C-alpha cells in the first residue's frame, strides 16, 4: 500500500477519492456547509489550509493551499502537529478543541449539529496511510 | 426564530428598540454595545436567558446574542433574531465567551480602535448580570486598544417608560396572578386551610397560574412567597420564600405570588387572617388596607417616591401605626430581570432608587408596602404592578383589596 506525504497534493487527491467513495450524501445528512482547516507551523514553515465544501451532502470543493484562508462557514485552526496527531488517532478532535489545541470559528449551534459528520470525515482522513 | 406580529396585542417593536439604542450609542460615541444584564437581554431579545448571556449591538444592523451552548438553540428558537445571530459559547478553543465575543466585536470594529459600551454597577438583585471584574479585565485585554466604557444608562433610559405591548403583557400576567389568588382562596375557605403548609399554598397557586398561562413564578425570592404567623411580621421584612410551616388558627397569612407572561411580570400580594381574628388583628388589617388604598389613590405622573413616602408616613402617624410601616412604597419592574431600583441611576446613593425621581406616564412599577408588627407576630404585604397615568394609576391586579378572614 502506498504511503502519502501528509498535506501534499498526492495526499489531497487520495483523500478526495476516499471522501467521495465513502461519504455518500446520505452519510453526510445532505448537509450544505464548508469548513477550512488551517495548519500552522507546517514542516518547512508556513501555513496551509484545506477547504471542504459540501452541497446537499456532496463534496463539491476540496482544495489544499497556502496564503489567505478561503471563506468558509467554519474555520478550525491549529498546529500541523495537532492535526497530524488527530489523523494518526493519537488525539481526539473533541479533546483537541476542549483543551484549546484547536480553535473553532463559526456558530457553535450549527457546529454541534455537524459534530458527528465531522467525526466521519476525520475517520476517512485517518484511514489514509500517511507520512508526517 | 419567532415572527413578530404587529397585530398582536403583545407586539413589541424589537427592531425599533435596537434602532433607538443605536441612535443613543451614536450620541454617546459608543461603537459597539456589549450588554450582559438580564434586563437588557430580555428587553432586546424577547426571550428568557437563565444562563450567562451577552448581547452585542453594532452601530447599525442586527445585534447578536451569545449564551451558554446548552441553551443556545432554545434561545435561537424563541428570539426574534435570525438563527445566525445567536451563538453558543463553550469551553473550546475559539469558542469561550471572551474570545468568541471579543473576535465578534473586533470584526465589527474592522480594525479600528473603538469605544465599547458595557454594563457595570451594583444591585441588590442577585441576577442583575453586570459584567464581573474578571470578565471586564478579560474583555479589556482582548479588545485593547479599544476602550470599555460603562453605558448601561442608555438601556435604562430607553426602557423606563413602557410601550403598549409591554403593558399588555404585564396586564395579562396580573390577570393570571388573580387566577392564582382565586385558587388559593378556594383552597383556604371552609376549613380547607387546615393541614396546609406555606409550600403547598405556593404550589397550588403555581399550578393554577400555569394552567392559566403563566410560564413560571419568576421571582428570585423563592418563587411564590408565602408567610404565616410570626413570619408575616419579621422586622422590616419583605422577602418570605415559602417554608414548610403549617397554617394555624388565629394567625395571619401572606400570599405573595408571581406569574410571568411573555417576560411581563405579575406580582401581587393578598393577605388573610385565619379565624378567629382578634380585634387587635382587625385593627392592624384596617390600617393596612387603608394605607394601601390611599397610596394607590396618590400615584400619578409628576410625584416622586419621597413625596409619596412623606405623605403615607404622615397618614400612618396620624392613625398611630407609623411604627409598623416599612418606609418604602414601591420597587422598580420591567421585563424579566428588571426588578430593582426605580428610574435612572441619578440619585444620592448610586444604584438605588432616586427618591426625587418624577414618575412619568406609562412607567410601570410595583406598588409595594410592608406592614410589620413583630411583637404581635403579625404583618401584611401589598404588591401590585401599576401603570402610572397622568391622573392616577392603573392597578394591573384586580384582586379585591382586603384582609380576608377565613374560617
Q: Which residue of B has its CA nearest to A105?
A: B94
Q: What is the domain extent for residue A78?
A: 4-131
> What is the ipTM for the molecules in this complex?
0.84
Average pLDDT of span B236-245: 94
Instruction: Point out the least confidently predicted range of B29-38, B259-268, B320-329.
Output: B320-329
Exposure of A103 in the CB half-sphere (CA atoms within 13 A): 13
| DSSP-assigned beta bridge partners for residue B394 | B387
Q: What are the start-end ranges of the E strands in A16-121?
A: 33-40, 48-55, 58-66, 74-79, 102-105
B83-106 tens-digit pLDDT: 999 999 999 999 999 999 999 999
Q: Which residue of A74, A86, A107 to mutate against B (max B Cβ within 10 Å)?
A: A107
B293-329 tens-digit pLDDT: 999 999 999 999 999 999 999 999 999 999 999 888 8
Instruction: Point out the least confidently predicted range of A46-50, A94-98, B147-151.
Output: A94-98
- Indicate the pLDDT class of residue A119, thresholds 50, 70 and 90: confident
Query: Mean pLDDT of all residues in chain A?
Result: 93
Q: What whole-number distance in Å separates Cα of residue A79 and Cα of residue A101?
A: 8
Report chain A residues whose CB lies below 8 A from the CB of B103: 105
**Alpha-carbon dihedral sign for residues A91, A97, A102, A104:** positive
Percent of chain B with pLDDT over 90: 97
Average pLDDT of span B276-285: 98
Q: What is the pLDDT of residue A112?
A: 87
Average pLDDT of span A96-102: 93
Q: Is this model's pTM higher than 0.95 or not?
A: no
Q: What whole-number distance in Å separates Cα of residue B14 and Cα of residue A91?
A: 46
State how far residue B152 is from chain A, nearest Cα, in angstroms. Answer: 27
- Indicate the pLDDT class of residue B334, thresholds 50, 70 and 90: very high
Interchain proximity B93–A104, CB inside 8 Å: yes
Candidate from B87, B99, B103 with C-beta closest to A108: B87
Interchain proximity A98–B91, CB inside 8 Å: yes
B181-221 tens-digit pLDDT: 999 999 999 999 999 999 999 999 999 999 999 999 999 99
Report chain B residues whose CB lies below 8 A from the CB of A97: 92-93, 95
Q: What is the pLDDT of residue A87?
A: 87
Q: Show which of residues 60-119 on chain A sit within 8 Å of chain B, judged by CB atoms.
A: 77-78, 96-105, 107-109, 112
Average pLDDT of span A47-74: 96
Q: Which residue of A has its CA nearest to B94?
A: A103
Q: Measuring CA to CA, how many Å separate B74 from each of A43, A124, B128, B185?
A: 44, 33, 21, 36
**Alpha-carbon dihedral sign for residues B198, B199, B205, B208:** negative
Q: Provide the grid cell at B243.
A: 417554608
Q: What is the pLDDT of residue B343?
A: 87
Identify whether the C-beta of residue B57 lies closer than 8 Å to the C-beta of residue B21.
yes
Q: What whole-number distance in Å separates Cα of residue B271 and Cα of residue B402?
A: 7
Q: How many domains does chain A have?
A: 1
Q: What is the pLDDT of residue A84?
A: 93
CA quadruple B237, B242, B247, B252: dihedral, nearest 10? 30
- Indicate the pLDDT class of residue B340, thresholds 50, 70 and 90: confident
Query: Mean pLDDT of all residues in chain B?
Result: 97
Interchain proximity A104–B69, CB inside 8 Å: no
* HEC sequence for B34-63: EECCHHHHHHHHCCCCCCCEEEEECCCCCC
Domains of chain B: 14-158 (3.40.350.10), 164-406 (3.90.230.10)
- Indicate the pLDDT class of residue B236, thresholds 50, 70 and 90: confident
Candidate from A96, A101, A104 with C-beta closest to B95: A104
Q: What is the pLDDT of residue B286?
A: 98
CATH number at residue A28: 3.30.1050.10
Q: What is the pLDDT of residue B249?
A: 98
Interchain proximity B93–A96, CB inside 8 Å: yes
State how far residue A8 is from chain B, nearest Cα, in angstroms. Answer: 26
Q: What is the pLDDT of residue B35?
A: 98
| DSSP-assigned beta bridge partners for residue B267 | B258
| DSSP-assigned beta bridge partners for residue B397 | none
Q: What whole-number distance in Å separates Cα of residue B239 and Cα of residue B222?
A: 9
Amino acid at each position: 500500500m502506498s504511503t502519502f506525504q501528509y498535506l501534499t497534493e498526492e495526499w489531497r487527491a487520495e483523500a478526495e477519492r476516499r471522501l467521495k467513495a465513502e461519504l455518500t450524501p446520505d452519510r453526510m445528512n445532505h448537509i450544505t456547509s464548508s469548513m477550512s482547516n488551517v495548519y500552522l507551523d507546517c514542516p518547512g514553515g508556513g501555513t496551509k489550509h484545506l477547504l471542504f465544501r459540501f452541497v446537499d451532502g456532496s463534496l463539491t470543493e476540496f482544495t489544499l493551499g497556502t496564503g489567505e484562508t478561503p471563506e468558509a462557514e467554519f474555520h478550525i485552526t491549529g498546529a500541523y502537529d495537532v492535526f497530524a496527531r488527530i489523523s494518526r488517532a493519537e488525539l481526539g478532535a473533541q479533546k483537541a478543541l476542549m483543551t484549546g489545541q484547536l480553535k473553532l470559528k463559526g456558530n457553535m449551534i450549527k457546529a454541534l449539529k455537524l459534530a458527528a459528520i465531522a467525526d466521519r470525515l476525520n475517520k476517512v482522513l485517518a484511514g489514509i496511510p500517511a507520512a508526517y | 426564530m419567532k415572527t413578530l406580529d404587529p397585530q398582536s396585542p403583545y407586539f413589541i417593536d424589537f427592531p425599533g428598540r435596537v434602532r433607538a439604542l443605536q441612535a443613543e450609542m451614536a450620541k454617546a460615541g459608543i461603537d459597539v454595545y456589549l450588554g450582559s444584564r438580564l434586563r437588557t437581554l430580555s428587553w432586546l431579545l424577547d426571550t428568557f436567558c437563565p444562563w450567562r448571556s451577552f448581547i452585542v449591538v453594532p452601530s447599525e444592523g442586527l445585534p447578536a446574542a451569545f449564551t451558554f451552548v446548552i441553551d443556545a438553540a432554545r434561545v435561537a428558537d424563541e428570539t426574534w433574531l435570525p438563527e445566525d445571530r445567536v451563538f453558543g459559547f463553550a469551553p473550546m478553543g475559539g469558542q469561550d465567551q471572551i474570545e468568541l465575543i471579543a473576535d465578534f466585536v473586533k470584526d465589527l470594529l474592522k480594525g479600528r480602535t473603538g469605544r465599547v459600551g458595557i454594563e457595570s454597577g451594583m444591585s441588590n438583585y442577585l441576577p442583575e448580570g453586570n459584567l464581573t471584574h474578571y470578565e471586564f479585565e478579560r474583555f479589556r485585554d482582548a479588545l485593547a486598544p479599544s476602550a470599555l466604557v460603562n453605558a448601561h444608562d442608555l438601556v435604562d433610559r430607553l426602557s423606563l417608560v413602557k410601550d403598549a405591548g409591554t403593558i399588555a403583557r404585564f396586564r395579562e400576567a396580573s390577570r393570571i396572578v388573580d387566577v392564582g389568588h382565586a385558587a388559593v382562596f378556594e383552597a383556604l375557605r371552609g376549613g380547607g386551610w387546615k393541614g396546609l403548609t406555606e409550600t403547598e399554598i405556593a404550589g397550588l397557586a403555581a399550578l393554577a397560574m400555569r394552567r392559566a398561562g403563566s410560564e413560571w413564578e419568576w421571582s428570585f425570592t423563592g418563587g411564590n412567597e408565602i408567610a404565616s404567623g410570626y413570619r408575616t411580621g419579621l422586622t422590616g421584612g419583605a422577602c418570605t420564600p415559602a417554608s414548610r410551616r403549617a397554617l394555624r388558627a388565629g394567625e395571619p397569612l401572606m400570599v405573595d405570588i408571581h406569574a410571568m407572561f411573555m417576560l411581563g411580570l405579575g406580582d401581587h400580594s393578598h393577605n388573610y387572617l385565619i379565624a378567629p381574628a382578634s380585634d387587635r388583628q382587625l385593627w392592624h388589617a384596617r390600617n393596612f388596607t387603608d394605607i394601601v388604598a390611599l397610596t394607590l389613590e396618590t400615584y400619578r405622573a409628576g410625584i416622586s417616591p419621597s413625596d409619596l413616602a412623606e405623605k403615607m408616613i404622615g397618614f400612618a402617624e396620624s392613625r398611630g401605626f407609623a411604627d409598623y410601616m416599612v418606609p418604602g412604597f414601591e420597587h422598580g419592574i420591567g421585563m424579566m430581570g428588571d426588578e430593582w431600583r426605580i428610574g435612572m441611576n441619578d440619585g444620592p446613593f448610586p444604584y438605588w432608587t432616586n427618591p426625587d425621581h418624577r414618575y412619568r406616564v406609562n412607567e410601570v412599577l410595583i406598588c409595594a408596602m410592608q406592614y410589620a408588627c413583630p411583637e404581635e407576630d403579625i404583618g401584611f404585604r401589598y404588591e401590585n404592578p401599576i401603570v402610572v397615568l397622568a391622573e392616577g394609576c392603573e392597578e394591573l391586579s384586580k384582586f379585591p383589596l382586603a384582609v380576608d378572614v377565613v374560617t
